[in-house]
Chain A
Amino acid sequence: MLEKGQEMNSAKRREKIAFVILGLITLLIVVPIVLTIFYVVKNGASAISWEFLTQPPRHGMKEGGILPAIVGTILLIIGTMLFSLPLGILSAVYLVEYAKDNLFTRLIKLSVVNLSGIPSIVYGLFGFTLFVVFLRFGTSILAGSLTLAIMSLPVIITATKEALESVPFAFREISLSLGASRWQTVRYCVLPYAIPGILTGTVLSLSRAAGETAPILFTVAAFYLPRLPHSVFDQVMALPYHLYVISTQVPNMPAKISFATGLVLIALVFLMNLVSIILRAHYRKKKLW
């Protein structure tokens, strides 16, 4: 009995050690995030003021605020969402719910996977050639949103696909067996249960789109444009590009303004995540899973 007890103890001890090691490794993931945010807040918070958020930049961007860049980034996120959400979700619905498994669908799936591996600067060049030059949208919100939308598609499609596939097949069977059409089945018995997963993927990819510099470089971003845009064919400033500009192109730039700009961008992305978390919780509560 005693020996058995000792054995138990050593097994328990080993388990404890393993837990501690795993915990530490997990902590390593948290450390960079916390440090980054802490560093950005520490250096940038003092420059954040009402003026900073509501005024255009002045005096070679060293004074004033960053309003045009905030507005520009928000408009780009909205534009990206408008194009990529319907396209991405409907493509995924087609792939999962309708498409037969043949060469054509496999080709589409392969393209989706490969699209996500393309560097963002290549999307920028592609968007420039197609939207700015060939379709004559010019450097504009429209061209930039479309470029960012194409870049976001793979993640949205993949996330939606996985969310749809995780809905039990039985739900579809129930619905079809009651005489519902395919679309009714997707609309009432599949999509509602996939929404939390779709939201996660969408917000992830939109957050990435919000922070990208390369795709907007040639397609929409303005170096300095204090006035707010009037139409979708206008250029805008955008936070990531503005951050790049003031950090590298403007001499004697006070560091706290760069950090404050970064802080605003992080806050914006965080806000989007917050909205998705709230929506997700709402849907989970409504659906009595």
Chain B
Amino acid sequence: MVAESVIKTVDLNCYFGDTMALKNLNIEIFKNDILGIIGPANSGKTSFLRALNRLNYLNPNYSQTGDIIFEGKNIRQIPDGLLRKKIGIIFALPQVLPISIFHNIAYGPKVHGVTKKAVVADIVENSLKQAYLWDEVKDRLDLSATRLSGGQQQRLCIARTLAVEPDVILYDEPCSGLDPISTAKVEDAMRELKKDYTQILVTNNTKQAARVTERCGFFLMGDLVEIEETETLFTNPKDKRTDDYITGRFG
């Protein structure tokens, strides 16, 4: 079986002002992949994620060259709204809106024109179930989302992203502020979501990458040093810099 390519970058260069964040990146992500991205701070991991759904352009100094192909189409030809609906992102810190749990999740469908109450309620329930949060919040959907714990908030963010029916989910160090038990729950959710979604996980935590991902790339100073099956990358890296990073000699 030949894996279906979902995202492909061609000679992608990203700049913030004069600073180059990504250099000549060629990477391909396949359907139902969980691709891990590891690397030290400032290595371009986040810039890579945010280039995929053009969130980088929120920074007025940002510019890029090269192409990103999403489902066979250059993302330049896809309107921002549609692209970001299809490629959702989970931020590093749980970012919830200071409204109820229900409305946090209903917001996405609402801006995409879903207005029927019963349909919205269904979407909310399904999304929460997929994010492993339903059982914990089903009796208090009117509670402010800010009152949830960090781990619950992060799963709420996942549910919120799922509610707009993306094809790809990007995670930008989703567990950096979470305790081990919450982290495990988020990871469970990711494994479960593999069936239906393509996922990219940027993480500072090499152990997490080893636990969750199947393929893994190592970024350093804006370069993709190497990308391999996760097991190969961790046991038998080709590049010495990868080896140094994984074994903890720097970063």
Contacts and interface: CB of A to CB of B under 8 A. Distances in A.
A178 B85 CA distance: 5
Nearest to B104: A174
A26 interface: no
Main secondary structure of the interface of A (DSSP, over half): helix
B95 A170 contact: yes
Given A287-B98, A288-B99, A288-B146, A177 B84 contact: yes
Interface in B38-79: 53, 55, 58, 60
Interface stretch (A46-54, A69-77, A107-115, A180-188): A180-188
A181 B81 CA distance: 6
A289 interface: yes
Nearest to B163: A178
A83 interface: no
B35 to A, nearest CB: 19
A178 B58 contact: no
B89 A287 contact: no
A287 B81 contact: no
A189 B161 CA distance: 16
B2 to A, nearest CB: 30
Given A100-B60, A173-B55, A288-B144, A179 B95 contact: no
Contact of B164 (A100, A179, A181, A184): A179
B107 A193 contact: no
Chain B at the A interface: mostly helix, strand, loop or mixed? Answer: helix
Contact of B111 (A101, A173, A184, A288): A184
A179 B85 contact: yes
A177 B55 contact: yes
B60 A178 contact: no
B91 A173 contact: yes
27 contacts: A100-B60, A172-B58, A173-B91, A173-B95, A174-B91, A175-B107, A176-B55, A176-B58, A176-B80, A177-B84, A177-B89, A178-B84, A178-B111, A178-B164, A179-B81, A179-B82, A179-B83, A179-B85, A179-B112, A180-B108, A181-B80, A184-B111, A188-B107, A189-B107, A193-B98, A288-B146, A289-B146
Contacts of A177: 53, 55, 84, 88-89, 91, 161
A120 B83 CA distance: 51
A87 B96 CA distance: 31
A174 B97 contact: yes
Nearest to B100: A288
Contacts of B145: 288
